[in-house]
Chain A
Amino acid sequence: MSDAGASFSELDARERAHALLDARSFRELLDPFERVESPHLPPQGIVPQSDDGVVVARGRIDGVEAVVLSIEGNYQGGSIGEVNGAKIAGTLELALRDAKRGRIVRPVLVLDTGGIRLQEANLGILAISDMHAAIVSLRECVPVVGIVAGRIGCFGGMGIAAGLCSTLIGTEIGRLGLNGPEVIEQEAGSAELDARDRPRIWSTIGCRRRREQGLIEVFVEDDAIAISAAMRAAFREPAKTFRSRDIDASRARIAAYALPPTGAAR
């Protein structure tokens, strides 16, 4: 069980869900003993995890019904395949169903993920598109709160999911973008971005920078109590607008950006 006030990033996915929900309200769906695993990994010689790397935890947040979707970044880089993708999308769809019936369930996404699981490819992308659809609908009824506070960061199709969330909370540990540094280096070369240059990476896509840019709403220390408090505030005081609809300001910001003449990275 987590030690309240401990580093949030060092907790595993289940411990993080415990830390966020009201005390003693945690109830896991599709828990490890149900062994709802990926059928696609063993044929590829990859050992499955019994919860496929996502914890679905019902509970309460400040007394209101809630559900925390906590991605285990340490399992296959938090990558999204068919089963764990369905856990996330299916949960958001149920929260939406309830919201339309006047029953609010507060959704929280703990985003520690590199994006689509390559070994499940198009099943992953379809699951993530289901998530995007659910978030756009659900956030009209209740804030969809995302937390980017883990070692893996939040990238790929899940970076897009973060972009759709009503409120994003980040810490100095977290990074948020579309393509991770290793992918940029691989596709565009190390002159474009050296994936080992940690200061440059964090100063470009780290959550502190993202807060400066307004691409996340809240920046807090890597502390379970602080993150939980920020999450609770996000539900009490919902955002008035959605980042993903801020078209004019975003286009102006991009137009004003000083690209080097050759477009080179430096």
Chain B
Amino acid sequence: MNRGLAWLRALADGSEGGNGTVRAADVSWDDERARLVCVVPDAQARFPRARAGQVGVEEGWKIAAAIRAAVDADAIDATRGVQPRAIIALVDVPGQAFGYHEEALGLHESLAAAADAYASARLAGHPVVALIVGKAISGAFLAHGLQAGALIALDDAGIEVHVMSQASVARVTRRSEEEVAALANVVPATARDVHAFAQLGALARLLGVENADVPTADDVRKARSLLLQTLRDLRACERGPADRLGNEAAGRTRAMSIRVRQLLEAQWDAPA
């Protein structure tokens, strides 16, 4: 069951965010404005392989359009002193669409458009936050979520962060599914649950909720409060993906990512 729409309605006071596979709803919380963006299932979607909430060839460009519209509108209003609104990605995406027509139409460029829109909004001073409420898989997550300045996730067993289904990994690497699952003990980065992802230092916060599928009023209050705090933190101190390396967890689990950067910097200029 896709949670994106449930959380969109809850956070946007019942708004459906339009229709189709990509929804966008604008909210005002205290002194902050935000555009919530979400990818949802739609049985009527034109491309059959993008009807279950996947990010397909239409969705990437739609995400980009929704974000660009907000950025362009705020750029005009900036002359009146209006601060750029936050962009909040609600993430429950089972992956990218897998299909012949998708590839024929340049699915990779569609996902690049979405990633570009989020990154460009961030660079233009819009706080960009991703709230993972369900699945955050592979290319879909790269397009919708990973370019945020801060990632938050529900502390819930229904959260999955990974790059390919376990069954598919087993097929491709020619191991059994049990062996693939056991790999998570050897290489924690191959684990799929939210705590393992948090261990990589990629999450700003984990949010405990009573009901991740159908958020209670209290869940919504807590989420809204956390989102507000997070986007205010981002206004005070802009952050991008590479800043995810700066915390203690990443110092342990992404040590080589830090070491490589140190070595590159030391060798960047030719010795005198």
A–B in direct contact per CB < 8 Å: yes
Interface residues of A (CB under 8 A from B): 27, 29-30, 34, 36, 38-40, 43-44, 56, 58, 82-83, 85-87, 89-91, 93-94, 116, 118-130, 132-134, 136-137, 155-157, 159-164, 176-179, 183-184, 186-188, 192-193, 204-205, 210, 213, 215, 242-247, 250-251, 253-254, 257, 259, 262-263, 265
Q: How far, in whole Å, are A250 and B61 apart by their CA atoms in the complex?
A: 8
Chain B contacts for A137, CB-based, 8 A: 119, 123
Q: Is B189 an interface residue (CB 8 A)?
A: yes
Q: Is B200 an interface residue (CB 8 A)?
A: yes
Q: Is the interface of B mostly helix, strand, loop or mixed?
A: helix
Of A29, A119, A122, which is within 8 A of B264 by CB? A29
On whether the beta carbons of B268 and A179 are closer than 8 Å, the reply is no
Q: How far, in whole Å, are A226 and B48 apart by their CA atoms in the complex?
A: 41
**Distance from A176 Cβ to chain B, minimum over Cβ atoms (Å):** 7
On whether the beta carbons of B99 and A184 are closer than 8 Å, the reply is yes
Q: Is B29 an interface residue (CB 8 A)?
A: no
Known: A58-B270, A126-B202, A247-B68. A40 touches B113 (CB 8 A): no
On whether the beta carbons of A178 and B107 are closer than 8 Å, the reply is yes
Interface residues of B (CB under 8 A from A): 46-49, 57-58, 61-62, 64-65, 68, 96, 98-113, 115-116, 119-120, 123, 138-139, 141-143, 146-147, 161-164, 168-169, 171-173, 183, 186-187, 189-191, 196-197, 200, 202, 240-242, 244, 254, 256-257, 259-261, 263-265, 267-268, 270
Chain A contacts for B49, CB-based, 8 A: 188, 263
Q: How far, in whole Å, are A36 and B260 apart by their CA atoms in the complex?
A: 8
Of B47, B103, B265, which is within 8 A of A263 by CB? B47
**Distance from B1 Cβ to chain A, minimum over Cβ atoms (Å):** 21
Q: How far, in whole Å, are A189 and B162 apart by their CA atoms in the complex?
A: 22
On whether the beta carbons of B102 and A178 are closer than 8 Å, the reply is yes
Of A83, A93, A161, A204, which is within 8 A of B242 by CB? A93
Q: How far, in whole Å, are A176 and B191 apart by their CA atoms in the complex?
A: 29
Of A83, A155, A163, A192, which is within 8 A of B109 by CB? A163
On whether the beta carbons of B263 and A30 are closer than 8 Å, the reply is yes
On whether the beta carbons of B123 and A136 are closer than 8 Å, the reply is yes
**Distance from B196 Cβ to chain A, minimum over Cβ atoms (Å):** 8
Q: How far, in whole Å, are A164 and B48 apart by their CA atoms in the complex?
A: 27
Of B98, B108, B264, which is within 8 A of A163 by CB? B108
Chain A contacts for B242, CB-based, 8 A: 89, 93, 130, 133-134
Known: A30-B260, A163-B111. A119 touches B173 (CB 8 A): yes
On whether the beta carbons of A121 and B190 are closer than 8 Å, the reply is yes
On whether the beta carbons of B141 and A125 are closer than 8 Å, the reply is yes
On whether the beta carbons of A120 and B263 are closer than 8 Å, the reply is no
Known: A129-B147, A130-B242, A263-B47. A184 touches B103 (CB 8 A): yes
**Distance from B207 Cβ to chain A, minimum over Cβ atoms (Å):** 20
Q: How far, in whole Å, are A86 and B257 apart by their CA atoms in the complex?
A: 5
Known: A82-B254, A160-B142, A163-B112. A188 touches B120 (CB 8 A): no
Q: How far, in whole Å, are A127 and B260 apart by their CA atoms in the complex?
A: 12
Which of B111, B116, B120, B161 has the largest number of chain A CB atoms within 10 A?
B116
Chain A contacts for B107, CB-based, 8 A: 177-179
Chain B contacts for A136, CB-based, 8 A: 115-116, 119-120, 123, 147
Known: A34-B263, A265-B100. A186 touches B113 (CB 8 A): no
Q: How far, in whole Å, are A191 and B260 apart by their CA atoms in the complex?
A: 44
Chain A contacts for B147, CB-based, 8 A: 129, 132-133, 136
**Distance from A118 Cβ to chain B, minimum over Cβ atoms (Å):** 5
On whether the beta carbons of A82 and B268 are closer than 8 Å, the reply is no
A-B contact pairs, 23 of them (CB 8 A): A29-B264, A36-B263, A87-B264, A118-B173, A118-B190, A119-B173, A119-B190, A120-B187, A121-B162, A121-B190, A124-B189, A125-B141, A125-B142, A129-B241, A130-B242, A133-B241, A134-B242, A136-B116, A159-B108, A160-B112, A160-B142, A161-B112, A259-B101
**Distance from B198 Cβ to chain A, minimum over Cβ atoms (Å):** 11
Q: How far, in whole Å, are A86 and B250 apart by their CA atoms in the complex?
A: 13
Chain A contacts for B164, CB-based, 8 A: 118
Q: How far, in whole Å, are A94 and B262 apart by their CA atoms in the complex?
A: 11
Q: How far, in whole Å, are A163 and B110 apart by their CA atoms in the complex?
A: 8
Known: A82-B254, A122-B190, A184-B98. A90 touches B261 (CB 8 A): yes
Chain B contacts for A116, CB-based, 8 A: 138, 163
Q: How far, in whole Å, are A159 and B138 apart by their CA atoms in the complex?
A: 12
On whether the beta carbons of A122 and B200 are closer than 8 Å, the reply is yes
